Each structure stands twice: as structure tokens, then as C-alpha cells.
Amino acid sequence: MQPLVVYDANNQFVEPLQVNGALKHVLVEIHFGIIHYKIGRGSETHDSFTAVPKQLVILQTAPIQPLSAYKRKNVRSGPVRPKGFEDFRKDTPSDNKGKNVASGSRA
């Protein structure tokens, strides 16, 4: 098995021990090959595809995004409680289409 080939924004090879640090907060171009397997016999066949990464090219540093509420350092601190949402049906005519969709109820 060979290590993944990575090039920096100046098209310089990134040594394997430096790859993790080089890939933090960057936008990359990924080159990969697709392998196709036909599984089965006769008319009962299925297609299976596998992507094999060939190289990564770092294009630019990406802007740092604010952390999602779902990404936390300690999952033992309790569940994530997303903010509520506004009922999208309040400004629409009254009909049975989409009934109970906003509240998450099941009919």
C-alpha cells in the first residue's frame, strides 16, 4: 500500500508525515479512479463501484467556518438541543396538504 500523494498550493510534494497538518483548513482537488465490479450470475447482477484516491492537490486555504452546534469536544456534556423553527404553514391557506408536517406528528 502506498501513502496518498499530496501536493501543496505551490505544486510541491508534501511528505507523508506532514500531510495531516497540511490538510487542515484547506480546499483540495481530489483525483480518484473508479473501479467497477459486476456481481452476480446471469440476469441477476448488481453493479458495485469503488473510488480509489490517487492524489490530492491543495488549492487554497479555506476560510474558517464557525463550529456547528453538533460538533463538540465532550459528547458527555449532554444532547444537542437545536433551536425551534417557525411553522411554515401559518401564512398558507388552510388545507390538508402537509398536515402535521411542521410539528413532526404522524397521522
Say what the pLDDT of residue 91 is. 59
User: Where along the chain do its domains lie?
Assistant: 5-62
pLDDT in tens, the chain (107 residues): 788 899 999 999 999 999 999 999 899 999 999 999 999 988 899 999 999 999 999 999 877 777 666 666 676 777 777 677 666 666 555 555 555 445 444 44
3-state SS string for 18-80: HHHHHCCCEEEEEEEEEEEEEEEECCEEEEEEEEEEEEEEEEEECCCCCCCCCCCCCHHHCCC
